[in-house]
Structure 1
Amino acid sequence: KEQQQSRRSRSTRQKYEQQSSKRKTLIIMEGAEVVARSAEWWKVVVSTFSDEQWVQNFRMSKETFTYLCQRVQPAMEKQDVNYRLCVPLQQRVAIAVWKLATNADYRSIAHLFGVSRSTACKCLKAFCSAVEDILLPEAIQFPNGLPHCVGAIDGSHIPILAPQEYHTQYYNRKGWYSIVLQAVMDGKGLFWNVFAGLPGSMHDARVLRRSGLWNMADRLFGGQHRVIGDHDWGYYILGDAAHPQTSWLMKPFMDNGRLTEEQTNFNVKLSRARVGRWRCLLRRNDCNLDTVKSVVITCCVLHNLCESHGEDFREEWAEPVLFNQPDAPLQDGADTGVAARAALMSHLTN
């Protein structure tokens, strides 16, 4: 009997397993007639994954995945009873994480995990909702005990399908539809402030002014002060040329071809971070507009979770960007933090 089960396991694995030389991940070929909808792949194949295979497929170790399931369990157990009884919690979380990690279409995911497309969609929405309710408040926080530079801010355009309403507002300068993710990341590579969902046609400076970060600036950055040169200032973050210069937001000098060596070196120090663990942020997302916003926030939370659990990002996960990010026009108007930037430049170069 054990030999029969062993042969059945090997047969099932051979049936479902195809190694992608590009992604190094177990995939199911879309449209393959040999694939019938069943839960065998999840129950038989995934249970035999090595530690390496688990990380390659789910972008985190099995230990972190188990921890994630435990944390979202209270919220996800309150969801629709019909599909909750049919699909175990870990399988529902795996479906959502697989979607976020691969951005595969719902049809492929449904066949792979042995569920219907509507169930796969429900799993993603329920998981993202649980992450936002339970993990977001503790995972995205203002850093404590850090130097006066508490992070770097950047905007990223997330590709989406054209919305049915007001679609022209989501058409960005590069000629594709997107929503904007504004994120602030600290020196440890953790997000401590995220804001997503505004249309892709909106300027970075306008996105900033409509975000909670702008409204909370005085409270967040007006704490401890430090004298640098002749300037007395508090916490600050680093931005790019599209952001307004303020006492708490340092942006690079405009490169007009005549920058001094000090100014050039200052600009080099303003580096931007990139998230490549979750492919759904790099490719056009087929979810509706409300779900896309939730997906983006969830990916930021999962990034922090993986980083805090020591999950290494693998260079082979990085893919060429299919949608080039729009170049935001330079921010016009009076800069209120020019003196602070000059003092900081002098401090960094001396």
Structure 2
Amino acid sequence: MAAPAPLRQRRPRRFRERKDVLHDLDDGELIKRYRLDRAGIIFVTDLVRGPLTNPTGRNQVLTPEMKIIVLLRYLATGKMQLCSMDDLGPSQQTVSQVITETLMALSSNAILTQFITFPITPHETQRKIVDFQQIAGFPGVIGAIDGTHVRISAPSEFEGEYVNRKGYHSINVQVIFDAKYKITDIVAKWPGSVHDARILNESSLNRVVFGRGMVPDGCHLLGDSGYPSKKWLLTPYLRPQPGPQSNYNKAHKITRSVVERGIGQLKRRFHVLHGEIRVQPPSKVCQIIKVCAMLHNICKDRNIYIPAAEDDEEEVDDPLPLQPPQPPADQRPREGLLYRDEFADLHFRNDN
């Protein structure tokens, strides 16, 4: 009878030593690497501590703080491999799993709506109006709206719908900024081929907020010529006449530049939005975009600066060429244009 084969001894698992970044790095280095200081990281962790707490008693389980740090490093750089290379410890597979789990927790509607809110009360709207009017004297503005494209890898389904006018795959994101560069509304779900005007028309902003009169009269958004003119959405004149129209255009351009600079700030803060986001499906990219917007607002609330750009980072947004105007779905383009004429004549008859 043959002797039984000797039992193979199981090798003990070896874990890389993990750096305690919250205690080893000062606030300046934390902001450079993770875009938040120590208090900010703990604040964000506390928002989702429950869902991110693993009940298992296994060794080397990532704490909620570490999961947030891993996600922040990815959003700051756009490179998953850096999360496992920077002495944080997790393997590439674990990093991917942690990013998915943490994105899911932070992108819940209950979390997002705490930090991204559109002004609708008289007190809120009046405060926005005052802030915007200080820029160039343009009255009644509560937000500046624009679209920006976030590059993605080719999706496996409906691939052609995601190709934008520059020929690359993207998500077309509608975003509104206030005068202090905080995001008050964001729509991140549409493929890159979809026109800005359609995104606006299908949004709850058009159908509910302004469509049902939730915002006080006299409140406006400023948009470029890719949007239809409405009583609540003021666009520039394509061929302004001297006088009120030219004065209107001058103030409009200066005031609306808030959204262009705001998009630039968002993409500089979270470099993942600059390059191609190589995750699937596109709905996960949309989670990334919305979480970056929320974290941007948290940074604004906490007065956290944007770190100086690294050598490989772009400094400004790279927008697509201006889209030609499209008539709104309600087929009432003249109403908005006539309102704009009355508005310009009332407020910009004299050069401000």
Q: 2:84 aligns with which of 99, 102, 110?
A: 110
Answer yes or no: is 1:97 the counterpart of 2:82: no
Q: 1:223 to 1:114 in 2, by over 3 A?
A: closer
Structure 1 counterpart of 2:300: 307
Does the aligned pair in 2 maintain the 1:57–1:98 contact within 8 Å? yes
Cα separation, 1, equivalents of 2:213 and 2:276: 35
Does the aligned pair in 2 maintain the 1:159–1:323 contact within 8 Å? no
Answer yes or no: is 1:252 the counterpart of 2:252: no
Cα separation, 1, equivalents of 2:89 and 2:17: 7
| SS of structure 1 residue aligned to 2:224 | coil
Structure 1 counterpart of 2:222: 238
Structure 2 counterpart of 1:52: 28
Pairwise CA distance, 1:221: 5.0
Q: 1:255 to 1:92 in 2, by over 3 A?
A: farther
Pairwise CA distance, 1:60: 1.6
Q: What is the one-letter code of the residue matched to 2:253?
A: V
Cα separation, 2, equivalents of 1:74 and 1:237: 38
Pairwise CA distance, 1:254: 1.6
Structure 1 counterpart of 2:273: 281
Alignment size in residue pairs: 303
Structure 2 counterpart of 1:40: 17
Q: Which moved more, 1:135-144 or 1:308-317?
A: 308-317
Cα separation, 2, equivalents of 1:309 and 1:331: 38
Q: 1:103 to 1:250 in 2, by over 3 A?
A: same
Q: Identity percentage over the alignment?
A: 23
Q: Which moved more, 1:82-91 or 1:147-156?
A: 82-91
User: CA RMSD, aligned part only?
Assistant: 2.8
CA offset digits 1:16-46 (Å, max 9, x no partner): xxxxxxxxxxxxxxxxxxxxx9543523x66
Structure 2 counterpart of 1:137: 113
Pairwise CA distance, 1:89: 1.3
Q: 1:277 to 1:154 in 2, by over 3 A?
A: same
Structure 2 alignment gaps of length 5 or more? 1-13, 130-139, 328-332
Larger relative contact order (CA 8 Å, sep ≥ 6): 2
Answer yes or no: is 1:197 the counterpart of 2:216: no
Pairwise CA distance, 1:252: 1.4
Cα separation, 2, equivalents of 1:128 and 1:193: 19
Structure 1 counterpart of 2:134: none
Does the aligned pair in 2 maintain the 1:266–1:345 contact within 8 Å? no
CA offset digits 1:63-89 (Å, max 9, x no partner): 111111111112223x69599961111
Q: What is the one-letter code of the residue matched to 1:163?
A: P
Structure 2 counterpart of 1:8: none
Cα separation, 2, equivalents of 1:151 and 1:135: 22
Pairwise CA distance, 1:188: 1.9
Q: Which moved more, 1:337-346 or 1:149-158?
A: 337-346
Q: What is the one-letter code of the residue matched to 2:306?
A: F
Q: TM-score, normalised by structure 2?
A: 0.77
Pairwise CA distance, 1:165: 1.1
Answer yes or no: is 1:122 the counterpart of 2:97: yes
Does the aligned pair in 2 maintain the 1:42–1:91 contact within 8 Å? no
Does the aligned pair in 1 maintain the 2:240–2:246 contact within 8 Å? no
Does the aligned pair in 2 maintain the 1:184–1:193 contact within 8 Å? yes
Structure 1 alignment gaps of length 5 or more? 1-36, 226-233
Q: TM-score, normalised by structure 1?
A: 0.78
Cα separation, 2, equivalents of 1:149 and 1:314: 30
Cα separation, 2, equivalents of 1:187 and 1:154: 14
Equivalences for residues 175-190 of structure 1 within 5 A: 175-190=167-182
Pairwise CA distance, 1:258: 8.8
Equivalences for residues 336-347 of structure 1 within 5 A: 336-346=335-345, 347=347
Q: 1:244 to 1:177 in 2, by over 3 A?
A: same
